[in-house]
A and B are shown apart, each in its own frame.
Chain A
Amino acid sequence: MHIRSIQQRRSGMARRDVLRLGALAAGGAITAGMASACGASSGSGSAASSGPLVFLSDQLSSTDEESAMRRQVLSGFGTSVNFTSFADATQFIDQVVAQSKAGVGKLDLIGGLQGDFVSLAAQIKLRDMSDVIAELRNRNFPPQYLDLAKINGTYRFVPWIQASYLMVANKQALPHLPAGADVNTLSYDQLLAWGQALKKATGRELFGLPASPDGLIKRFIEGYLYPSYTGALNTTFKSPDAVTMWEYFKQLWAVSNPQSPTYAFMQEPLLSGEVWVAWDHAVRMIDALKQQPDQFVAFPAPSGPMGKGSLPVLGGLSIPATSKHVTEAKSLIAYLTEPKTTAAMLDTEAWFPPTGKLPTNLPPALNGEAKAIQAMTNAPDAVHCELAVGLGAQSAAYDQVFIDTFTAIALHNQPIGPTLDKAATTLQSVLHTAGAACWKPDPASTGVCQVG
């Protein structure tokens, strides 16, 4: 009895306590809610301007890159910035398009490659960035980058980062170079002879290309092989020179590591020793050069019968039309294009400044890459290529033609002539749908670029 009465008393007290606490909590919540609502309504202007800026990109997406971006690049900006990056350009584009179409976007700044902005401009109205470019006149952006920042005649992004593609070799491969060959002035024939010599000496195919679905072999074909062998791209797509180029490529592919279709970033097979000589994007090989600077050497892409084809990579910044923090976003663009910040980007992320001016005393890895890129740009036989202009939503379909051609010829061993004839029809259809005129290295055209 006694025990039961104590239990009842305890439970009764507990019930009362719970009810009392509940009432207090409810009252508190109502009070806090009212207070916060008042606060929000009275201070909405200041909250909007002082909240973190949201910066979305499809670059710098690895954990290390994202962390370095937050800690070493954006930490110097006065306002807090929420930086997020997607590894996949499609996700980035989908996100920006969805927010723009909904008209309630949370994004304040977007950073992508030139091609991403072209794809975005085909789907949504991007902000005219002429005012920001005018304000940043003292950055001295090169005219060719400012031209690329114009989509349909209007500036749609501000140049932010740039890079290029180059070659890296393990120093173990250098003794096998053909007689008289210099890695800095290599020809494609010498590259093939080098690959063959490596195979003869080691029994392994030690040349490597990034041919996985996430790899950039399409740029090797579009910006390096075609210009070097045919002097152009679209207008010589199925020409006799192009047939010669594909015949050459089949030989080079025969001395390439058969695992190349699984390689996305060549720094990994270089570091593991599966590949001794590789071509890739500068950013995708920097880890090999940084981790083992004494073991690897960077050098320019080779030259072909028509010269040394090379392709730049340009990334830009834009403010979405839905941003509520335009002034702060403009300040962030100004900060990100300052020489001090671009030097930090180069040091931590291996992306070069959009002005082309490099800081002095670069670390060996970056210095090697910078020298290789400069050698390609300043080569007497350089064939300068532009990033595809005017393709809009057809950009991916355009790349697909080159990937399908590579797959058919290199992986499935299909005959070169008929494959090029079939692909040329698809390529012409893509260019026609986009209404794209020719771009360098193709000669300028008055109407749609004609596949030759």
Chain B
Amino acid sequence: MAYLLVFFVSPMASGVRLAFTSQTGQLGLATIHQLVNDPGFWSSITNTLIMLGLILPVQFALAIVMALLVNARLRGSGLWLYIYLLPLGISELASGILWYSIFTEQGWLNSILTDLGIIHQPVIWLSYQHPLLLICTIVIAEAWRSTSIIVIILVGGLQAIPKDYLEAADVFHASPWRKFWHVTLPLLRPTLRTALILRTVLAFEVFATVIALAGSSLDVLATKANNAYTQFQEPHLAAAYGVLIMLLSLASAALFLTVLPVRTEQAR
């Protein structure tokens, strides 16, 4: 309890207090007004939501396939799990720099494409003129870095599914796809919900990958919070961005809890 108070409740209360206090120390909505009128505020919300909308389906599709492969206990599946887990040991910034060296104009990707004769002039993947392409590079980098977190959660969920259900499906000669769609996926719903909440909250906090790959071309809420504090030395504005990220995270968690209810018999 003391740990929670010192390390979670106290900084959160301090952040909320900063967000609702002006630079002159007056309590009120001055900082919130500054937040809403901050150049790039609305585009940062749009970019965050687009990024989230792309990351979640891509990562979950990948994670389900990877988790099923691990759970199928094929030959060498243990080795695959270790390979999947490797990016977990790399920090977000290091991952961003690594992917920058791949996507930059004179980077690996253009070198490989040139060597293969596919392109004759380097492609600028990280151009400010193509924000959607920039977001796609961020999604690829993020998918590489953090899909393994979801894989671990899903493997746990898959292993908790009683074999009886799948054996019963076998008795009725269900195809692998029908077994996955009608047996595995519904029983995996509580695990998927947990993974969705966790991944969404983490996706709201992604900033080092965005800074490394997009620089000042593109802002998301977390980069705005970071820049407000480090670059412009405005702790109140940074706290306001932080509070907004917290509220959006809570709202998304509430949404998933409502949209994906867990039936009692499944939870049992």
Contacts and interface: CB of A to CB of B under 8 A. Distances in A.
B215 interface: yes
A408 B127 CA distance: 16
Interface in A240-275: 257-264, 272-274
Interface size class of A (residues with CB under 8 A): 20 to 34
A213 B215 contact: yes
B196 interface: no
Dominant SS at the A interface?
helix
Interface stretch (A124-132, A322-330, A394-402): A394-402
Contacts of A408: 39
Contacts, number: 79
Contacts of B227: 213
Query: In which size bucket is the chain B interface?
Result: 20 to 34
B234 A396 contact: yes
Given A90-B233, A396-B233, A261 B214 contact: yes
Contacts of B26: none
A215 B106 CA distance: 20
A258 B124 contact: yes
Contact of B232 (A93, A203, A272, A397): A397
B194 interface: no
A386 B182 CA distance: 72
A407 B39 contact: yes
A40 to B, nearest CB: 31
B217 interface: yes
- Secondary structure at the B interface, as helix, strand, loop or mixed, is loop
B60 interface: no
Contact of B217 (A93, A397, A403, A411): A411
Contacts of B121: 203-204
A68 to B, nearest CB: 23
Contacts of B106: 272-274
Interface in A163-195: none
A262 B124 contact: no
A439 to B, nearest CB: 20
B229 interface: yes
Interface string B205-221: 00000011111110000
Interface of B: 39-40, 100, 104-106, 121-122, 124, 126-129, 211-217, 223, 227, 229-234
28 contacts: A88-B230, A90-B230, A90-B233, A204-B121, A204-B122, A211-B215, A211-B216, A212-B215, A213-B227, A215-B215, A258-B128, A259-B104, A259-B105, A259-B127, A260-B128, A261-B217, A262-B100, A262-B104, A262-B214, A262-B215, A263-B215, A395-B233, A396-B234, A397-B232, A404-B39, A407-B216, A411-B128, A411-B217
